[in-house]
Copies of this chain bind each other. A is one copy, B any other.
Amino acid sequence: MNIKQLEVLRTLLATGSTIAAAKTMGLSQSGVSRMLQQLEQDLSITLFARDKGRLIATPEALALGHDAENILLAVDRMSSHAEDLRSGASGPEIVRIGLPSSMWENFAPAMLVDYIRAFPGVRIETFFESTTAINKLVGERVIDIGFLRMEGETGPGIVVDKVASGTSVCVVPKDHPLAELETISAKDLRNVPLVLIGRQRPNRMALDQQFARAGVKQMVKIETHTNSSACAYVAQGLGVSIISSFYANLYRHLPVVQRPFVPQARQDFGLARAAGFPLSIAAQALSDALQRQIQLSQKIE
């Protein structure tokens, strides 16, 4: 598979014939025909039916044509990006911080109130993203410092300092029968509607295995991808969820309670920055403010 072949697929879908596609692409008709055949061979799938000497797009062609479009758009973006980098642009000094989406309502505002008191002139940019995205954006120097879950591997050229930890807890509505238990295990969740996050992520797979070992089939009602939405769904009675106590502590204001989910898994959280690039004074101070806010948010009342 190569980029020219994907352009052929896109153009064939748009024009309907090899002759028209050839004209559009500045190639010979036979060249287009060969490239189509080569792409079909590479993908081991028939993209166009040959019906009485004419090409008819198969449903597979339509489906994969979209994938091809995505690839070609990504290629265009890369080319544009390269051009932007060549021409260069710069702005005033700011500090850019990446945080999980769970932190926008209370944690981040409180942290910034604290920070801005001491650094009134600094301009802040906040990104609420997933751990994976923050990892990437720190590596790309789009973000100066980023709070993320430590899940083993970070990108190349990134340093992560551990700043917090948590353990797995089950979050249930305040008035739920399960709220009366001291601890909750997979066995307690038989036939209980679940709201789960992190599908296909390592911690989620470990959780799935805990259920499997307990011989309990998960009754997943809602999959989502943020701790915040999981807590909100629990508060609304849509099910119970299993997340880290670190995040659960950020949602004490919701009508939910948390119980240790046994056996408990541990989660570590860190602050990521690019290796080899010392933080500016402003950025280091924001890092300090973040850690003060972590202390406050995890304090047991």
**Shortest Cβ gap from A246 to chain B (Å):** 18
Partner of A105, one of B1, B105, B141, B157: B105
Query: Which residues of B lie under 8 Å from residue A75 when comparing CB positions?
Result: 1, 71
A residues sitting closer than 8 Å to B (CB atoms) are 1-3, 13-14, 16, 43-45, 57, 59-60, 62-71, 73-75, 77-79, 81-82, 85-86, 94, 101, 104-106, 108-110, 112-113, 116, 123-128, 136, 139-141, 155-157, 199, 220-226, 228-229, 232-233, 235-238, 274, 276
Q: Is the Cβ of A233 less than 8 Å from the Cβ of B140? A: no
Known: A1-B79, A2-B2, A70-B136. 13 other contacts (CB 8 A): A1-B75, A45-B86, A62-B141, A62-B276, A66-B141, A70-B78, A70-B140, A104-B232, A109-B233, A112-B236, A116-B238, A124-B223, A126-B225
Q: Is the Cβ of B112 less than 8 Å from the Cβ of A233? A: yes
Query: Which residues of B lie under 8 Å from residue A13 when comparing CB positions?
Result: 156
**Shortest Cβ gap from A209 to chain B (Å):** 18
Listed residue (A44, A73, A222, A226) with the most chain B CB atoms within 10 angstroms of its CB: A222
Give 29 A-B contacts (CB < 8 Å), ordered by A residue: A3-B3, A14-B156, A43-B82, A57-B157, A60-B85, A64-B81, A66-B139, A67-B77, A69-B139, A69-B155, A70-B77, A70-B78, A70-B136, A70-B139, A70-B140, A71-B74, A73-B155, A94-B223, A101-B101, A105-B228, A109-B229, A110-B236, A112-B222, A125-B222, A125-B223, A126-B222, A126-B223, A127-B224, A128-B226
Q: Is the Cβ of A108 less than 8 Å from the Cβ of B140? A: no
**Shortest Cβ gap from A217 to chain B (Å):** 13
Partner of A3, one of B1, B43, B45, B229: B1
**Shortest Cβ gap from A268 to chain B (Å):** 24
